[in-house]
Structure 1
Amino acid sequence: MRRTAALLALAAASPLAAQSQLPPAEYANKQLADPAKEAEAAELMATLRCIVCQGQAISDSDAEMAGDMRALVRERIAAGESADQIRAWLIARYGDYVSYDPPMSTATAPLWIAPLALLLIGGAIAARSFRRRRR
């Protein structure tokens, strides 16, 4: 019984141990002073996927990793890098998955081709069904 209670207590405490005790990066939740640069950063952050959350943009995520990515985007925008340069660097570092609009490559080709193929197959099935009904 004590062993079970100890294991349950350890399992319950595990998520707490995963949280970092470090303060967030400076620009994780702080906007840039220049409104034009902040707008450019916000536009880019809305198109980048949080590596941890796997479904949220870094602009919407509360994950520590998303905060680090927001800070990185803002720092690089403030330093004069373009959104395309920052996106290319993040894709080189984290892979195509980090972008909601992955570039066409052999790895992402099925993502681009599958919807078209399914649409064509659905159209062919519908046309065949309509022909059968007319007979």
Structure 2
Amino acid sequence: MTRFVTIFLAFVIFSVQAFAVAVDDNPLEDPAKEAVARELMKEIRCLVCQNQSIEDSNADLARDLRQVVRERIALGDTPENVRAYLVDRYGDWVLLEPPVKPQTYLLWASPFLFLLVVVYLVFRRRSTTAGAAPLSAEEEAELEAILAAKEREQ
């Protein structure tokens, strides 16, 4: 029985680490600036994670980007300046919602283009299968022979 209790306690003690949550790094001392930084962090994409903001991510790069955002805000940069700084370094992809500009037109239009292609393919398939060509005289005779043979079997 003591062996079971020992194994159970060891399991509990070692599994507690699985529930550990990354504590956020050094928040800004000014609550107003920290609020601005947190709002901006919601708009910046984690470059490691799939479609997750740096505020929600526990990746090391996301932690580094949070620190960069805080440093820039602490130095007095506006959110627009911080956004521009990150876009200059990482491109428009770092923003969770990229701006609409000539370089991103294809990105914004791609869902509509995909939908148009799907609709085109569906209607094209229907038009080719809807109008079956009539049987030739040879095919008609072959069909009648097959049907006659089928009737004789029954």
TM-score range, shorter chain: 0.5 to 0.7
SS in 1 for 2:67: helix
Cα displacement (A) at 1:104 = 1.9
Q: Which residue of 2 aligns with 1:93?
A: 89
Kept after mapping to 1: 8 A contact 2:51/2:96: no
Q: Which residue of 2 aligns with 1:21?
A: none
1:70 to 66, 73, 87: 66
Q: Decide which moves more: 97-106 or 68-77.
A: 97-106
Cα displacement (A) at 1:52 = 1.3
Hey, what's the Cα distance between the residues in 2 that align with 1:66 and 1:107?
26
1:40 to 36, 39, 43: 36
Q: Which residue of 2 aligns with 1:30?
A: 26
Structure index of larger Rg: 2
Aligned residues: 100
SS in 2 for 1:112: helix
1:60 matches 2:53: no
Per residue, is there more helix in 1 or in 2? 2
| TM-score, normalised via structure 1 length | 0.63
Q: Which residue of 1 aligns with 2:105?
A: 109
SS in 1 for 2:103: coil
Q: What do residues 34-87 of structure 1 show as CA deviations (whole Å, max 9, x unaligned)? A: 111011000000000011113211001111111110000001101100000010
Counterpart residue type for residue 34 of structure 1: D
Counterpart residue type for residue 92 of structure 2: D
Kept after mapping to 1: 8 A contact 2:54/2:65: yes
Counterpart residue type for residue 38 of structure 1: E
Which runs of no fewer than 5 residues in structure 2 stay unpaired?
A: 1-23, 123-154
